[in-house]
Structure 1
Amino acid sequence: MARARIPSRPNHELVFRSARKGEEGTLATVAYRAFQAGDPEAWLRYFTEHAHLALDNVIVAETDGQLVGHVSSLDLTMSFAGADVPFQGLASVAVLPEFRRRGIADRLVRESLRRMRRRGEALALLHPFRLSFYRRFGFGVCELRDVVRTSPDRLPDSVLRRHVRAFSRPRDEPLIKQAYDLARADTTGQLSRSDYWWDVRVFKRSPSGAVYVDPGSKAIAGYLLFDVPEGGAYGVQQLLVRELRAPTSGAYRGLIGFLGALGDQYEVVELVLPRGYGAPLLDEPGIRDEPMVYETAARHPGLCPPVHTAHRRNVLGLTAAGAMGRIVDVAAALALHPSPRKHGVRGAIGLDVEDPVFTDAPRAFDVTFAARGVQTAPGSTAGDRLSLSIERLTQIYFGATSARDLLSQGFVVGSAKAAALLDAAFAGPPLFLGAYNGF
């Protein structure tokens, strides 16, 4: 049974406005009470020191003079098929526990999207606490990650691991940044990182790592940063790779080979990789954590027959949902995408777009792919058309799926020719942010 939503009483009208100077402490308190994560001081630093957050882009919900919720919109830039593209990072959607189930979070997100559109923003991304909540606003899953959990000795070995050494921040920080920027080329989703981002969001979270030194140039050509959760004894510890950047095949094989040589210390290595990168690392079916399941079954034979509890080294490989995205302004977003011009796509299609937030905006567009870029105008004269939701259009835009697949599955209706042209226009590397580009 669905839980009832308690409406706000008429004499407790909600007011939505931008946050003001001096309210940072209250914002931090609301965030801490809403999420019960981090600490109040960390949240205060978030609202006072974040290099990508302006108070004007923090919307608060207020009733009877009390600040009861807020949402932030970060000014960020990411790589997009070889170009740098600005976007808004929707974050910190927080409502005090005693004001939940009144539609406040819903209204905060809608107000944030409306303000983005008025500012001329084209794209928004977020990391969802629940997919279904954000789908109602037109967000779709746009980042798909390959997650691999394996015993180190099941990873492919390589003699190139001899060129890997420990990461030292005083010595390697500028070289790591150069390697990251080099690896951003021809990717989609890698942030343009400020010094603030590197310090607070990367190095403070993961001070341990390794670098691959190219044997020819002697320059750092790749790196990985990792965490080791506390509590595990030597031999059964877990190593969680938070970031692996290797723009050359040698660097990638060397770093994977380095991880593969750590089997004496670590029972499990976990990697989160761009979609498609996990498949070459899988050599056995099964679940890496099977020993714990089997041992539990052996201790409780009434539940299932005892089974052999020998150490299993199977690999767990799965695809996980990452960031969600949303096109805020169709015409602006299509003009921003670098791939149509890069691939020389030519032609005209029509798009009939259903949008649950901007219901008064035009929903029929004529789109022309030409040498000077993409031109989009309200209209319905183009013969080859597609009818789809803003969620599905966003997923096609970011390469999470194809228009032709959605057409064959019935999630998009219309012309196969239009679907093929849209796929050609948006062809490129799929969106991948990874852990340390999260916000």
Structure 2
Amino acid sequence: MNVDVRPIAESEIPEWLRALNTGFLRMETPTEGDVAQCAEYSDTARMLGGFDTATGRCAATLRSFSQELTVPGGAFVASSAVTNVAVLPTHRRRGLLTRMMAAELAAAKARGDVLSTLIAAEYPIYGRHGYGPATSVSEWEIDVPRTGLAGRRPASGPGGGVAAGRIELVDEAVVRKVGPELHERLRAVTPGAVSRDARWWRLATGVEEWSHRPFKEKFNAVYRTAAGEVTGLVSYASADHWTDAKVPQNTVRVQQLLALTPDAERALWEFLCSIDWVLAVRTGFRAPDDLVARLLPDARAARVVTHADWLWVRLLDVVRALRARTYATEGVLVLEVEDRDGLADGRYRLDAGAGDCVRTDEPADLRLAIGTLGSLYLGDESAVRLAALGEITVAAGARPGVLALADAVFRTPRRPWCPDVF
């Protein structure tokens, strides 16, 4: 079976979408609207297809787009975001994904992207291509009657009184107006967050939609400070469900909640838990150290229902990547990085105090694969833990305490969080 892996032509978008839909177990035939949107918003030079030369049918898909990733310290780093990866069930285990990933990563390196990002649908696949799980997410379900919030007015302050701010229900037009600026401010202080373009907000608010993901109206609320500044936004939905005894059993499901301050975050969660007829609140995917449970009078009212890896990072330029972020402590580490694809292998000297990184011939302190460095990069993982797992090796003759130093250098006070899927 011969398969030609290459960027597609615009005329091949319908066939490419057909393969993508089949791989994602969606209705196979794309609509005219889907084809038009794909043609308008996607760069066909970054849409790879694997075409069976015997049938001419597209059998595999991969697409990438430009993205910015926030790293510790607040810098925005240029990334190639990988998405829409699919292989037809008739063409599995023939190396098509490996060929597409090799082509994409080589192109990203040539473009000057510092790193590549993706959300992995399946865990075992992308470590083979140099990616490491760099953030994770948790979702809580809040048992509203148990929270201890009954009888409180929403937007209560840390001392239990009513905060100076207020909650205001808004429509999608207001979300389109205030959401982008709020998100920009939030991602500037949230390692792991990624950029959203104007189209993200059009899809989120119903101006545009995909046939496989039709827009459904939802509720939106903002938190305004006493001065009228929007510092929080939540979008949520709820199905109308009652028992035969006419008892409400509704669950609110949060689609996004953005908060710039603890006051805004507290006010929005208390608002959601104060809605009549609601017995449970599903928080959506949050950072594992999110404030939500401890904001409740009874933290046990919130139980974790999901915890999983989320954003995966693949470094392409180690020097630029390590120079871009900041570090919590001073220290010098010499890292021997293995990259079997040859894109970023070598020995690097990181001076955390100076915020500098250079290639070096000095003896290594630690040896690790490029994917392991990706897991360390945003500060979510422990070097000591990775060494216990066999993913980091302390070099012979390395200084005592070098693993503890690596932990102190790379870890961040709060865990990184990516609020988006792409």
Indicate the TM-score class for this superposition, using the shorter chain for normalisation: 0.7 to 0.9
SS at match of 2:124: helix
Aligned to 2:136: 144
Are residues 423 and 202 of structure 1, via their aligned partners in 2, closer, same or farther at CA, if it must alter by over 3 Å?
farther
Are residues 121 and 183 of structure 1, via their aligned partners in 2, closer, same or farther at CA, if it must alter by over 3 Å?
closer
1:85 to 46, 71, 77: 77
What is the CA distance between 1:77 and its match in structure 2? Answer: 1.3
| CA distance in 2: counterparts of 1:174 and 1:191, whole angstroms | 19
Aligned to 1:198: 201
Are residues 380 and 159 of structure 1, via their aligned partners in 2, closer, same or farther at CA, if it must alter by over 3 Å?
farther
The one-letter code sitting in structure 2 at the alignment partner of 1:62 is F
- What TM-score comes out, normalization by structure 2 length? 0.82
What is the CA distance between 1:281 and its match in structure 2? Answer: 5.5
What is the CA distance between 1:172 and its match in structure 2? Answer: 4.7
1:324-403 matches, cutoff 5 A? 324-335=312-323, 337-340=324-327, 346-356=330-340, 358=341, 360=342, 363-369=345-351, 373-377=355-359, 379-382=360-363, 385-403=365-383
SS at match of 2:253: strand
Aligned to 1:412: 392
What is the CA distance between 1:87 and its match in structure 2? Answer: 0.8
1:221-300 matches, cutoff 5 A? 221-229=231-239, 235-262=248-275, 264-277=277-290, 278-280=292-294, 283=298
Identity fraction in percent: 22
Are residues 229 and 94 of structure 1, via their aligned partners in 2, closer, same or farther at CA, if it must alter by over 3 Å?
farther
Aligned to 1:301: none
- Work out whether 1:75 is the aligned partner of 2:66: yes
SS at match of 1:273: coil
**1:195-219 deviations in whole A, cap 9, x for unaligned?**
11111146556642211121x2022
| CA distance in 2: counterparts of 1:55 and 1:201, whole angstroms | 24
Aligned to 2:212: none
Aligned to 1:4: none
CA contact (8 A) 1:176 1:223 kept: yes
Aligned to 1:309: none
CA contact (8 A) 2:191 2:416 kept: yes
| CA distance in 1: counterparts of 2:265 and 2:330, whole angstroms | 37
**1:273-307 deviations in whole A, cap 9, x for unaligned?**
2121155267476xxxxxxxxxxxxxxxxxxxxxx
Over the residues paired in the alignment, what is the CA RMSD in angstroms? 2.9
**1:379-430 deviations in whole A, cap 9, x for unaligned?**
4414x51011222111110222122332355431114544344444434353
| CA distance in 2: counterparts of 1:35 and 1:411, whole angstroms | 32
| CA distance in 1: counterparts of 2:387 and 2:44, whole angstroms | 42
1:85-234 matches, cutoff 5 A? 85-155=77-147, 157=149, 159-161=153-155, 163-201=166-204, 204=215, 207-214=218-225, 216-229=226-239
Are residues 206 and 421 of structure 1, via their aligned partners in 2, closer, same or farther at CA, if it must alter by over 3 Å?
farther
| CA distance in 2: counterparts of 1:318 and 1:180, whole angstroms | 24
**5+ residue gaps, structure 1:** 1-7, 286-312
Aligned residues: 388
Aligned to 2:310: 322
SS at match of 2:286: strand
Are residues 201 and 56 of structure 1, via their aligned partners in 2, closer, same or farther at CA, if it must alter by over 3 Å?
farther
The one-letter code sitting in structure 2 at the alignment partner of 1:403 is A
What is the CA distance between 1:227 and its match in structure 2? Answer: 2.9
SS at match of 1:222: strand
SS at match of 1:280: helix
CA contact (8 A) 1:334 1:376 kept: no
What is the CA distance between 1:56 and its match in structure 2? Answer: 0.9
| CA distance in 2: counterparts of 1:274 and 1:105, whole angstroms | 30
Aligned to 2:158: none
CA contact (8 A) 1:25 1:44 kept: yes
SS at match of 2:257: strand
Are residues 230 and 85 of structure 1, via their aligned partners in 2, closer, same or farther at CA, if it must alter by over 3 Å?
farther
The one-letter code sitting in structure 1 at the alignment partner of 2:170 is F
**5+ residue gaps, structure 2:** 156-161, 207-214
- What TM-score comes out, normalization by structure 1 length? 0.79
The one-letter code sitting in structure 2 at the alignment partner of 1:351 is L
